Amino acid sequence: MSKEIPYKIYLEESEIPTSWYNVRSDMKIKPAPLLNPGTGQPLSLEELSPIFCEELCKQELDNDTAFFPIPEEIVKFYKMYRPSPLVRAYFLEEALGTPAKIYYKFEGNNTSGSHKLNSAIAQAYYAKKQGLKGVTTETGAGQWGTALSMACAYFGLDCKVYMVKISYEQKPFRREVMRVYGADVTASPSDTTEVGRKILEQFPGTTGSLGCAISEAVEVAVKNEGYRYVLGSVLNQVLLHQSIIGLETKAALDKYGIKPDTIIGCAGGGSNLGGLIAPFMGEKLRGEADYDIIAVEPASCPSFTRGKFAYDFCDTGMICPLAKMYTLGSGFIPSANHAGGLRFHGMSTILSQLYHDGYMRAVSAKQSEVFEAAELFAKCEGTLPAPESSHAIKAAIDEALKCKETGEEKTIVFGLTGTGYFDLKGYQQYNDGDLTDYIPTDEELEKGFAGLPNVEA
């Protein structure tokens, strides 16, 4: 007989993984390389180094090393909030009346409120080790900016955050948390950068986008001595750091002899999804196991389900490298009524390749159904989820209800990336009936695609 499963499975601190796992090492078809937008050639370490910390550039370019040892100082910091619990959603299962067994890996137990801290502390560590003064970045919903602020405060680094204007205005308290941690926060697009001024001229009154904010942050990093740019998602290095989510999840499941059938993660740039699925995808790639892996994205920003798999700029200002990914075009800006994160126009090149090659599938969810799932979850499980995370909740509920119909006792694991304490504006709009479901038309998407650069690797 199997052991009784507790509500929360906590690993011991000694069981915190000591290496990150690089899923690229097991991919037969590697993710396409980043290209220099000027030459159309793959970027070298030398070309990347003025933008990113050197150690991180190496991680970015390394498709072969399977495991990267986690530096001791990072493991120490991880102990501040890790291991995170793998929760058996008994209350939710009961409410749904499903025979499915639902688990979620909860990454919100830290003040940044999300999984983003896993990579923020790594990136800050390498910046410190390189002797830098500080780092620049962008933030959308604010989770990444908060995480980076915490990480920079820990290592005594300066932290300049460009925050998507709509979030900056709607989330003054998110700003304030960053300020508590000593960060310098600017609403983007701003007049503090060339690219910001250009975007403001072209789109006066824009509510901003991650793509704009990235352009500004990169410009500031490149133009200031002793600074580098850091990014909270999309990049290979970020997925590498986030593999700790999946490694812990797998260790916790293994401890109780549980084999999941379905693994679900929300997908914006792909950092949470890529991290959660990493070791499971590794098994799948090596032919050792099979899993139904599902990416969930907002219907209002549907890069997987309606985007093109093509080379594109990672930023609106078109100053960043080109990445081959599922993209809506770097000019795509989600509707202003889109609440929360998951608003990036593209997707991790790793995940894009895996999706293209049929190793995972993708679904999209409308805002209203996402908030509906979020409120049910909050009532059952006692945690108010972030709107981003609630996309995964919605899909997990759908899968569990399918099991109710078929009678299958599937084991479903999803990533609960964070808490929604700074997203109450969205909840308020939902409860007031002011949250409409925006879905871009084909014509709108075509406009985005028209801006794709003419590159084929």
- Binding site residues, its own copies, CB under 8 A: 6-8, 10, 12-13, 79-81, 91, 109-111, 113, 150, 153-154, 172-173, 176-177, 179-181, 375, 378-379, 381-384, 419, 421-422, 424-425, 427-428, 431
Shortest distance (Å) from residue 435 CB to its own copies: 13
Comparing CB distances to its own copies, the nearer of 45 and 80 is 80
Exposed/middle/buried for 389, CB within 10 Å: 0-12, 13-18, 19+? buried
Please report how close the Cβ of residue 90 comes to its own copies at its closest, in angstroms.
8
Nearer to its own copies, 154 or 449 (CB): 154
Question: Residue 378 or 445: which CB sits closer to its own copies?
Answer: 378
Residue 61 vs 380, nearer CB to its own copies: 380
Tell me how far apart the alpha carbons of residues 291 and 144 are, in angstroms, rounded to a whole number.
29
Name the amino acid, one letter, at 413. V
Q: Residue 94 CB, nearest distance to its own copies (Å)?
A: 10
Asked if 261 contacts 410 with a C-beta cutoff of 8 angstroms, the reply is yes
Least Cβ distance, residue 334 to its own copies (angstroms): 23
Nearer to its own copies, 93 or 381 (CB): 381
Of the two residues 95 and 439, which places its CB atom closer to its own copies in the complex?
95
Give burial (CB, 10 Å; 0-12/13-18/19+) of 203: middle
Q: How far is the CB of 232 from its own copies (least distance, A)?
A: 17
* Minimum separation from the CB atom of position 157 to its own copies (A): 13
Q: In whole angstroms, how far apart are CA 429 and each of 266, 344, 367, 387, 392?
A: 22, 22, 11, 12, 20
**Selection from 211, 142, 206 nearest residue 179 by Cα:** 142
Backbone phi, then psi, for 48, in 5-degree steps?
A: -80, -30
Identify which of residues 178 and 310 has a Cβ nearer to its own copies in the complex. Answer: 178
Token duo for residue 237:
């290095």
* Closer residue to its own copies (CB): 15 or 194: 15
Start-end of H helices in 192-316: 194-202, 210-223, 236-255, 271-285, 303-306
Q: Check residue 364 and report its DSSP letter.
A: E
Cβ distance 153 to 128 under 8 Å? no
Least CB distance from residue 8 to its own copies, whole Å?
7
CA distance 278 to 257: 19
C-alpha to C-alpha distance for 122 and 130, rounded to whole angstroms: 12
Taking residue 29's Cβ as centre, other Cβ atoms within 10 Å add up to 9
Of 79 and 133, CB closest to its own copies = 79
C-beta of 110 vs 242, nearer to its own copies:
110
Residue 231 C-beta: closest distance to its own copies, Å: 22
Min dist CB 148 to its own copies, Å, is 13
Distances (CA, A) of 359 to 240, 273, 447: 18, 13, 29
At 18, the amino acid letter reads T
Angle 271-285/349-356 helices, nearest 10 degrees?
A: 50
Nearest approach in angstroms of CB 353 to its own copies is 35
- 454 CB-contact burial (10 Å; exposed 0-12 / middle 13-18 / buried 19+): exposed
